[in-house]
Chains A and B, each alone.
Chain A
Amino acid sequence: MEPVFLTFVFVLAIFLGFELISKVPSTLHTPLMSGSNAISGITLIGSLASLKADNVTVAVILGTLAVAFATINVVGGYAVTNRMLEMFKKKDQGGAK
């Protein structure tokens, strides 16, 4: 049953994704990409959970690498998106710098 349940969640999430993303204006497409990139760093959750204390050496190496790469994705992705979105200002706020 489990595969069916997971696929069910997957299909619903895809539809939700289409609904949400099609509302994003083209002005924000670059932040959307870097922001969604950060979200795809969610692999970090899986990598963390897979790094068990009783792992064999190969799995420790693979797991640590996965954690490092996914963390770059999460931290860098959110930070750079925030930096970009900070710059988008309305007219009355423009030129405040």
Chain B
Amino acid sequence: MNTATLLINFVYVIAAGLFIFGLKMLSSPATARRGNLLSALGMFLAIVVTLFYAGLDYKWITVGVVIGTVIGLVAAYKVQMTSMPEMVALFNGFGGIASMLLAWSEYHQHPELSVFIAVVTLLSAFIGGVTFSGSMVAFSKLAEMMPSKAIVFKGQHIVNGAILLAALVSGVIFTLNPANTYAIFLVIVVVALLFGVTSVIPIGGADMPVVISLLNSYSGIAACAAGFVITNNILIVAGALVGASGIILTNIMCKAMNRSLANVLFSGFGATTQAVGSGEQQGEVKPATAEDVYYILEAADSVAFVPGYGLAVAQAQHVVQELGELLEKNGTEVSYAIHPVAGRMPGHMNVLLAEANVPYDQLVEMDDINPRMDSIDVCVVIGANDVVNPAALNDESSPIYGMPIIETHRAKTVIVLKRSMNPGFAGIQNALFFYPNTRMYFGDAKASIQALVAEFKSD
């Protein structure tokens, strides 16, 4: 190893250290922003020193970097906070395809691979390809360019199995003789892209938090495999950090839905589940007008807002914040209770509310609000449904039985904002709507909250 290479690798160690510090500082909102900047500094250093390798093709590097920077910056500054899940899905996919292309390019230049390098080249290309096409499907679903519900067809598992088998067989042939099996490598790329599509289409919209987390993890693992291909420690370390992060998030999301990963990936939930218990769950629904809700809120000492994906759809985060502020001026204690799987990606609701200037100390996790739910005067449920359904606690026949929920039904009064009585994503009637302490406030979430704000202001 010559001096230049040694120095470059030494800077990589510093970069890895900065990534680790950056992630560590993400443990509190107060330090998170500096953490991200540190991490970016690490990346910048690593990129700059890499340019000192001898014999690089600067012309094409410049072309690639300029195109990437322009697209990246425009996307980052144009995107709406409600569209963050799409954005993250898209970026995951780009990370995946970059790893695939890197492995391909390396293989193209040096087709004589040892068995170990052949295996990691294969993994990098396969995982990268799956990440790319899977993310594109997730993106299209989230952006509603294709139906967001689960798409299932007969023999789906057989098709997926056949694709995996094809990947395995071609993988073995490739590993045994990489120098003479270029065509097989291309087959693997195509199979990977196919598998990404067929494995994500059966997953419905509300399960997207799990899929995005998982694809996030894949993009890290693909980068890791690419690191093995080119024997580069920084790719391995950074890829492993991202891989671990995605796995942890996936696990948190699955736990919050009380389902196993296998169940999320293979069951086609939401497409196959029937509306169980919709007939037996009867009772009287008590609608309320803006004026009724105003009087309830006006008299309350503590109010907890429970947002869900409907808040994002209605773009109601700003009016909710306005209402929260008016309530605080009125002497009411305001908090926002957020279920881990509310929205379409982990932490989706938190970002929306932060955008609307809700201070982060008012954002409360499910496990913190539930123990003191009995002392809360009013819960306002906005666009959330399954995550507040008490059937998850007490109805063993319910498909969501066992899923941890925000126990709004224990509050003194629950106000549910809803467009109509249609059941939620899982097709399950919500028992909460029939509780004696529940009032239904029908209408578009944004317009309804605006009406309340107007009531407060006219007072």
Contacts and interface: CB of A to CB of B under 8 A. Distances in A.
Interface of A: 2-3, 6, 9-10, 13-14, 16-18, 20-56, 58-60, 62-91, 93-95, 97
List 8 tightest A-B contacts by C-beta distance, closest first. A71-B68, A17-B244, A67-B64, A29-B347, A76-B72, A75-B72, A13-B240, A79-B76
Contact of B354 (A43, A49, A50, A89): A89
A37 B93 CA distance: 10
B293 interface: no
Contact of B236 (A9, A33, A68): A9
A91 B81 CA distance: 21
Nearest to A48: B50
B105 A50 contact: yes
B227 interface: yes
A67 B245 contact: no
A37 B358 CA distance: 26
A81 to B, nearest CB: 5
Contacts of B104: 62
19 contacts: A2-B231, A13-B240, A31-B36, A32-B26, A33-B246, A33-B346, A36-B220, A38-B40, A40-B220, A46-B102, A47-B64, A47-B101, A48-B53, A49-B53, A66-B105, A75-B73, A85-B32, A94-B358, A97-B357
Of B32, B47, B106, B350, the most chain A CB neighbours within 10 A belong to B32
Contacts, number: 380
Interface in B201-234: 212-213, 216, 219-220, 222-224, 226-234
Interface in B80-136: 81, 84, 87-88, 91-92, 94-95, 97-99, 101-102, 104-106, 108-109, 116
A6 B348 CA distance: 36
B1 interface: no
Contacts of B232: 45-46, 49
Nearest to A47: B102
Contacts of A67: 60-61, 64-65, 68, 98
A90 to B, nearest CB: 6
Interface string B360-395: 111101000000000000000000000000000000
A74 B43 contact: yes
Given A37-B95, A72-B75, A62 B241 contact: no
B241 A81 contact: no
Interface residues of B, number: 112
Nearest to B325: A95
Nearest to B34: A85
B233 A43 contact: no
A74 B97 CA distance: 14
Contacts of A45: 12, 46-47, 50, 232, 234-235
B69 A71 contact: yes
Nearest to B361: A91
B265 interface: no
- A interface, by DSSP: helix, strand, loop or mixed? helix
Contacts of B361: 90-91
A76 B71 contact: yes
A26 B365 contact: yes
B101 A54 contact: no
A59 B105 contact: yes
Nearest to A80: B76
B67 A71 contact: yes
Given A51-B57, A89-B354, A43 B98 contact: yes
Interface string B1-39: 000000000001000000110111011111011001101
Contacts of B27: 20, 23-25
Contacts of A32: 26, 245, 249, 346-347
Given A25-B29, A40-B95, 7 more contacts: A3-B228, A21-B249, A32-B249, A43-B102, A45-B47, A74-B68, A80-B84
